[in-house]
Amino acid sequence: MASSAEQVKELRERTGAGVMDCKAALEASKGDMQGAIEHLRKKGLADAAKKAHREAKDGVVASYIHPGSKIGVLVEVNCETDFVARTDDFQGLVKELALHIAAADPRYVRRDEVPADVLEKEKEIYRAQFADSGKPPAVVEKIVEGKLGSFYSQIVLIDQPSVRDPNVTVSQLIAQASAKTGENITVSRFARFKVGGHVE
Amino acid sequence: MASSAEQVKELRERTGAGVMDCKAALEASKGDMQGAIEHLRKKGLADAAKKAHREAKDGVVASYIHPGSKIGVLVEVNCETDFVARTDDFQGLVKELALHIAAADPRYVRRDEVPADVLEKEKEIYRAQFADSGKPPAVVEKIVEGKLGSFYSQIVLIDQPSVRDPNVTVSQLIAQASAKTGENITVSRFARFKVGGHVE
């Protein structure tokens, strides 16, 4: 089983190990990258803690610190090229998103990031609200799904109404900037810290 | 089972519900705060998504964006009073910590935040490095513990050597500022984003 040149290159970048060691490690792991990294580490040939993250996209990391320094936001917004990342249209969007996150306090970027148990708990609570309503279960489930939509628009960034213009969702703001710049734009992550607000 | 005035107060702050409803909810949950919140929510009396975080400490949230906007850091540093939070000594420490995190790329604030499985995997790798050494297991375990210390100083913020002065750990930097300001100072959390570095 021969390892491809790309695999060897990636393994070298991620571990700093030599070509021959990388080839041997990939052979031992039958081409599995993670296995090869562990193999090298067990032999003491790879640097432990400093695993290089693979760069996938371009964009910027921006912050907003609310006056008084008690609330701060860090956000990563991605586009396809550094050229677009430097444009006023893109930078304007990023600035607006950081401000929006500070004000609107979303919990997740996208719906698929909301954990299943959080969703299930929400549904359970909605169902309980209609337990004595006499409505048939199918109707209640429809209402529950409708309420979930409003739950999402409270806690999911791209579903939230824009703080600046509540008639537009954040998703639409992003789409507008995307149309202007001609590139796909996504928010990959954000952090919002409030002093004393750290709850495990 | 009577609920205490403090419990009712906390429940009101966290849900926005009325005094009598809060008392009834605490009674129904036998004094359990989380249960009382869910009880109120099922009755539609509590605001769902906007759970208020409890403010525990003072301090500041600060950011550092590395020139080029491809790396950014957000950090919350706590002290006991807003008075100290505004001093140059404290602000200087906060600025240095944000810069340090950008440069040194720690993964955790404290040792106790390193997940048990990450630790176990490290130990396993260290043990494998000495598998053919012929050393007795007790000796190997001692070496493994020693190597863990160096692992911590790579990935744990307060154990890292300061980027500005490698003879001093971050923990010592914090202790110095603490001595100057006369207040307990802690780092509660940080985020460090690198463009394209988001790995699930």
Instruction: Identify the H or E element spanning A192.
Output: strand A186-194
Predicted model pTM: 0.71
Angle at B180 between CA B177 and CA B185, to 5 degrees: 40
Q: Looking at the predicted structure, is the pLDDT value of residue A22 above 50?
A: yes
Per-residue confidence (pLDDT) for residue A198, from 0 to 100:
67
Q: Looking at the predicted structure, is the pLDDT value of residue A106 above 70?
A: yes
Separation between Cα atoms, residue A86 and residue B67, nearest integer Å: 12
Separation between Cα atoms, residue B111 and residue B154, nearest integer Å: 11
Distance from CA of A151 to the nearest CA of B (A): 7
Chain A residues whose beta carbon lies within 8 Å of the beta carbon of residue B85: 69
Separation between Cα atoms, residue B86 and residue B111, nearest integer Å: 29
Is A196 within 8 Å of B107 when comparing Cβ atoms?
no
Query: For every residue of chain B, which 3-state class applies, written as one string?
Result: CCCCHHHHHHHHHHHCCCHHHHHHHHHHCCCCHHHHHHHHHHCCCCCCCCCCCCCCCEEEEEEEECCCCCEEEEEEEEECCHHHHCCHHHHHHHHHHHHHHHHHCCCECCHHHCCHHHHHHHHHHHHHHCCCCCCCHHHHHHHHHHHHHHHHHHHEHHHCECCCCCCCEHHHHHHHHHHHHCCCCEEEEEEEEECCCCCC
Is B55 within 8 Å of A196 when comparing Cβ atoms?
yes
Is A65 within 8 Å of B62 when comparing Cβ atoms?
yes
Q: How many contacts, defined by CB atoms under 8 Å, are there between A and B?
A: 143
- Phi–psi pair at A108, nearest 5 degrees: -135, 160
Chain A residues whose beta carbon lies within 8 Å of the beta carbon of residue B73: 74
Q: What is the pLDDT of residues A45-70, one digit of tens each?
A: 765 444 333 334 899 999 999 999 99
Q: Within 10 Å of residue A150's Cβ, how many Cβ atoms?
A: 11
Contacts of A39 (CB under 8 A, 6+ apart): A25, A28, A29
Distance from CA of A3 to the nearest CA of B (A): 24
Find out whether A17 and A25 touch, Cβ atoms under 8 Å.
yes
| Local confidence band at B49 (pLDDT 50, 70, 90 cut-offs) | very low
Per-residue confidence (pLDDT) for residue A152, from 0 to 100:
95
Quote the mean pLDDT of chain B: 87
Query: How much is the average pLDDT of A81-89?
Result: 94
Longest dimension (CA), chain B: 71
Is B196 within 8 Å of A56 when comparing Cβ atoms?
yes
- Phi–psi pair at B89, nearest 5 degrees: -60, -45
Helices marked H in chain A = 5-15, 19-28, 33-42, 82-85, 88-104, 116-129, 137-155, 170-181
Is A193 within 8 Å of B191 when comparing Cβ atoms?
yes
Chain A residues whose beta carbon lies within 8 Å of the beta carbon of residue B39: none
> What is the CB-side half-sphere exposure of residue A20 using CA atoms within 13 A?
0
Contacts of A42 (CB under 8 A, 6+ apart): B125, B128, B129
| Residue A198 vs residues B27, B112, B115: alpha-carbon distances, Å | 28, 16, 19
Q: Which is it for strands B186-194 and A58-65: parallel, antiparallel or unpaired?
A: unpaired
Q: Looking at the predicted structure, is the pLDDT value of residue B52 above 90?
A: no
Q: Which is it for strands B71-79 and B58-65: parallel, antiparallel or unpaired?
A: antiparallel
Is B151 within 8 Å of A49 when comparing Cβ atoms?
yes
Per-residue confidence (pLDDT) for residue A165, from 0 to 100:
94
Chain A residues whose beta carbon lies within 8 Å of the beta carbon of residue B151: 48-49
Is A69 within 8 Å of B85 when comparing Cβ atoms?
yes
Token pair of B116 as six digits: 């048990």
Is A194 within 8 Å of B71 when comparing Cβ atoms?
no
DSSP state of B87: S
Chain B residues whose beta carbon lies within 8 Å of the beta carbon of residue A60: 69-70, 195
Mutation target among A184, A193, A200 for the B interface, most CBs of B within 10 A: A193
Chain B residues whose beta carbon lies within 8 Å of the beta carbon of residue A53: 194, 196-199
- Whole-complex ipTM: 0.70
Query: How much is the average pLDDT of B79-107?
Result: 96
Who among A42, A57, A61 is closest to B129 (CB)?
A42
Is B62 within 8 Å of A72 when comparing Cβ atoms?
yes
Query: How much is the average pLDDT of B165-182?
Result: 93
Token pair of A21 as six digits: 């060691």
Distance from CA of A45 to the nearest CA of B (A): 10
Query: How much is the average pLDDT of B108-122?
Result: 93
Chain A residues whose beta carbon lies within 8 Å of the beta carbon of residue B44: 129
Contacts of A180 (CB under 8 A, 6+ apart): A89
Sheet holding B58-65, edge to edge: B58-65, B71-79, B186-194
Distance from CA of B47 to the nearest CA of A (A): 11
Separation between Cα atoms, residue A8 and residue A40, nearest integer Å: 12
Separation between Cα atoms, residue B128 and residue A79, nearest integer Å: 43
Who among A56, A70, A85 is closest to B61 (CB)?
A70
Is A194 within 8 Å of B53 when comparing Cβ atoms?
yes
Token pair of B16 as six digits: 């926005």
